[in-house]
Amino acid sequence: MSEAISDAYGRGRPEHRGERSPGFADLRRVGLNPDFWYPVARSGKVRRGQVIATSFAGERIALYRGRSGAVHALEDRCAHRQVPLSMGVVEGELLRCCYHAWAYRGDGRISQIPYLSKGDARPPRGVRGYPLREAYGLVFVFPGDPQKAAITPLPELPAFGSPGYRTMTFSRTVRCHYSFMHENLLDMNHQFLHRGVVGRLHPELLEYRTDERSVEAKYLFTHAGGKRNRGAGLLAGEGIGRSDSPDVMTIRTDYPYQTLDLVPENAERPAFRLWTAYVPEDAEQRRCHAYGLLMIEKPGIPGALHLAWPLIKRFAERVFAEDRMAVEAEQRAWDEQGGDRNHEVFPLILDVREVLRTNGVPLRPQVSACGDG
């Protein structure tokens, strides 16, 4: 893999100097590339014989689980009168529209129009069916070119389901462009934001690497004082938060996903591993759904993690809530100012912006409700 390697002081690329110059694409106007597998629901939310509504970048999607247990993803508009299919009824492996009872197969083809005689012509097509896979307790769809679905792998999460780890799943809507989320996790200089939860942490950037599709940063964390939440120590195997035990945190944006591994000093494997995906919900992509899988190493004492689970969850929720507050404030500033007026100085973040910008796609033009006139 061809890599440009930056040291801990991050000698930035020359092209970053013109990020705010005329003609340079505003990252917040760049859409997420649809030619990847994206989670759009937790598997447990799609119950057998039921249908739910979800979306990807303004594309409304109806998910339903048939009698066999298989989940299907269809365009959430009946081909007849455009009524949402998510309002419909599941019958066996079919989804029937609630309005005139048109029935659809899992691939989107029309199965039945109850009042249509045999000799009458049917519409030439039904609705779009999305390639779908279930993995890691999530429902993934492929919203891009369906021909690419078979050759595009799902993300690999070896710690998920491992007997050495237990997984906590997060699913939250965040009112910001997905790029703010990537920047927030990669830039650990924002730990001052979490001072009331983790105390005063000192992050030192050891190195980072970047190429056309990824940015990976390694930080050394030490505790510099202040009161910390007990859940922080439990989450990191009593590593993070002890001044005599620094931790190495590796964070990676591997387009379009993010991962984070924390390894306490002298440990052989991560105390926890985080995988996240930020899935835009609306067409303008100013709102995304964050799906996270936090895989926590089980300690040697049986049952200890089970007892600590509520504390760890409360800690993780508090950290996420503070991050959400910050990134949503960034999005509001972008909305109010009509563009990005950030004065970013951290080369690592300039590099991840470049990765997101070059791998993304133009946002779809919005159709006026009043037409052209």
Helix (H, G, I), strand (E, B) or coil at 243: coil
State residue 26 phi and psi, 5-degree precision.
-70, 120
- How many domains does the chain contain in total? 2
Residues 343 and 245 in one domain: yes
Secondary element (H or E) of residue 198: helix 195-198
Residues 265 and 327 in one domain: yes
pLDDT at 23: 57
In terms of DSSP bridges, do strands 103-104 and 94-96 run parallel, antiparallel, or are they unpaired?
Answer: antiparallel
Q: Specify if 146 maps to a domain.
A: no
pLDDT at 234: 54
Residues 219 and 78 in one domain: no
| CATH code for the domain of 196 | 3.90.380.10
Cβ(96)–Cβ(106) below 8 Å: no
Helix (H, G, I), strand (E, B) or coil at 180: helix
CA–CA gap between residue 228 and residue 240 (Å, rounded): 10
| CATH code for the domain of 81 | 2.102.10.10
pLDDT at 229: 53
pLDDT at 239: 38
What are 204-260's pLDDT values in tens digits?
999 999 999 999 999 998 877 655 555 555 555 543 334 446 789 999 999 999 999
242-274 exposure pattern, b = at least 16 Cβ within 10 A, e = fewer:
beebbbbbbbbbebbbbbbbbbbeebeebbbbb
pLDDT at 301: 85
Q: Could you tell me the residue range of the domain that residue 66 belongs to? A: 47-131
Residues 115 and 171 in one domain: no
Q: Specify if 144 maps to a domain.
A: no
Cβ(31)–Cβ(280) below 8 Å: yes
Residues 124 and 170 in one domain: no
Q: Specify if 7 maps to a domain.
A: no
Q: Specify if 261 maps to a domain.
A: yes
Secondary element (H or E) of residue 230: helix 230-235
pLDDT at 9: 38
pLDDT at 17: 45
Residues of the chain where predicted confidence (pLDDT) is lower than 50: 1-12, 14-15, 17, 238-244, 368-373
353 CB-near residues (< 8 Å, 6+ apart): 19, 27, 179, 183, 344
How far does Cα 61 stand from its chain's mean position? Answer: 17
Cβ(323)–Cβ(193) below 8 Å: yes
